[in-house]
Amino acid sequence: MMQADFVIIGAGSAGSAMAARLSEDGKHSVIVIEHGGSDFGPFIQMPAALSYPMNMGLYDWGYTTEPEPNLGNRRLAAPRGKVIGGSSSINGMVFVRGHAGDFNHWADQGATGWSFADVLPYFKRMETSHQNGGIGGEEGWRGTDGPLHVQRGPAENPLFAAFIEAGRQAGYGVTDDYNGSRQEGFGLMEQTIHKGQRWSTAEAYLKPALKRKNVSLVRALARRVVIKNQRATGVEIERGGTMETISAKREVIIAASAFNSPKLLMLSGIGPGAHLAEHGIDVIADRPGVGANLQDHLEVYIQQECIQPITLYSKLNLFSKAIIGAQWLFLRRGLGTSNQFEACGFIRSEAGVPYPDIQFHFLPGAIRYDGKAAAPMHGFQAHVGPMRSASRGDVRLRSGDAKAAPVIRFNYMSHAEDWQEFRRAVRITREVFAQAAFDPYRGMEIQPGADVQSDDELDGFIREHAESAYHPCGTCRMGRADDATAVVDPETRVIGVDGLRVADSSIFPRVTNGNLNGPSIMTGEKAADHILGRTPLPPSNLEPWTNPDWRETDRLQPA
């Protein structure tokens, strides 16, 4: 029988970090279970090829949502990584910590010990920040010797500088480091890319950990957690058509994504009792919060024609792609070494909002996430969307079969405020693109198009074109142990079952500001200290920047 002190389900962003930290002192054995395979090959390793792995069944679970009633009953793609490194091996490689206000809200909601002061030391521990030709970035705020390398793109295309300057001209200000003391403003975007290749958690954590004798990787489908007398004792897996059990001498840790973590809990008898009974599953712990509280970020692409031939459009032909691929393969140079998201913005939608609630990703091309040209011309685009929607969905079992995809319902845009915020986000983007900084480049608006102006017209555009930003979270919410809707306590222990934890984006009480890979890795880092019974890192006493005039204006007050 295979056994280890700790059995981790999922070799993704949090799981890989935990595997490395739980094994690094050599005192404990770790087995990581991963259904996917190797991350070897250019589709994953070349940053510019990011549109490929997310659309490949080899690397992605291939989930889709149920028809979304507020988005024209469209089924939206809901990708999650099925490969070592998990979603950090198929994502867009954008690195955002989140805003201090997000983590303080977590603590206020019962996740004691997860305020910004508590999590900042873990963000610093996990990263090596490369900025301005050196290491460390803003003094005291960034990590200098962690396993996760974070860099800025070269931003050589003049459209990146134009976007940042346009944000300043529109009154929103500029930030030198949105992952430092001040998130608010326009600035250069950061990437989990190192020496020209994707720097996933497989590279940063798992591969180094697997060189240790006390860590092993098992490729198999985790079917359920084995629970005896209210204690997790192992994991039932299927490998090559054969059922086996991996025994956990100390704990089982689920880190399988916001979709698969609640699914595994429910298959194991932990979840809403009536729902489990429907599928013939014996109830071990009736936890209504399992699978509830599902959240995400939605975004639309605002696209503008570029009257100078300087965009990615000229690189979409096969010959150019071959040149880019060869440069990357043999020299680790050129366009292939970047995800092309090299400028961004975090702004507040209106006066009275204390910290940013709209995010921009800027791209010097009018192109879809799947790599298909959205317009037969040179163009540029901003991905934009609100950060803190009140809409909530859920994840449920389709059947008691572990191989069946879960039922995923986000209930996107189910509040009137969602529509108000989205319209405002579109109009602000148009205002930014209208600034003088874009005068040398701006042609006609490609999408939504100049004829789309009224609230109803914008709502129609959003309903037809909004896409997930692929930031699902919240389905195993962390909270107080006496909170009936919480799934794990602030030490990531599943409430009602001993020897079992969940640590990944599913435990987030509320979605953070920006992309979720950074907070997911931080969760694995911090959970590892809780699992080992270590005293958490000392809280930071640094104070993040807040616009002093946030009550009066959504911009910077004129000097």
Binding residues for FAD: 5-34
Question: Which of 35, 149, 471, 530 is flagged as catalytic?
Answer: 471
* DSSP single-letter state for residue 67: P
Q: How many CA atoms lie within 13 A of 401 on its CB side?
A: 5
H/E run at residue 152? strand 148-152
By the 8 A CB rule, do 525 and 258 touch? Answer: no
By the 8 A CB rule, do 499 and 252 touch? Answer: yes
- Inter-helix orientation angle 416-433/158-169, to 10°: 110
Rounded to whole angstroms, the Cα distance separating 203 from 146 reads: 12
Rounded to whole angstroms, the Cα distance separating 116 from 21 reads: 21
Nearest to residue 269, comparing CAs of 283, 280, 253? 283
Token pair for residue 378? 């040179």
* DSSP single-letter state for residue 558: P
Q: Is 471 a catalytic residue?
A: yes
By the 8 A CB rule, do 77 and 64 touch? Answer: yes
Nearest to residue 545, comparing CAs of 414, 376, 356, 369? 356
* DSSP single-letter state for residue 367: B
Which residues are known binding-site members? 5-34
Rounded to whole angstroms, the Cα distance separating 77 from 83 reads: 18
Q: Centre a 10 Å sphere on the Cβ of residue 434 and count the other Cβ atoms it contains.
A: 16
Q: Centre a 10 Å sphere on the Cβ of residue 468 and count the other Cβ atoms it contains.
A: 20
Q: Centre a 10 Å sphere on the Cβ of residue 455 and count the other Cβ atoms it contains.
A: 10
* DSSP single-letter state for residue 339: -
H/E run at residue 247? strand 242-254
Q: Centre a 10 Å sphere on the Cβ of residue 251 and count the other Cβ atoms it contains.
A: 18
In the chain, helix, strand, coil percent, each to 5?
30, 25, 45
Rounded to whole angstroms, the Cα distance separating 297 from 470 reads: 7
Say how far residue 122 (Cα) sits from the centre of its chain: 17
69 preceded by cis ω (within 30°)?
no
Q: Centre a 10 Å sphere on the Cβ of residue 230 and count the other Cβ atoms it contains.
A: 12
Q: What is the dihedral of CA 157, 162, 168, 170, to 10 degrees?
A: -140
Beta pairing partners, 194: 197
Say how far residue 17 (Cα) sits from the centre of its chain: 15
Q: State the catalytic residues.
A: 471
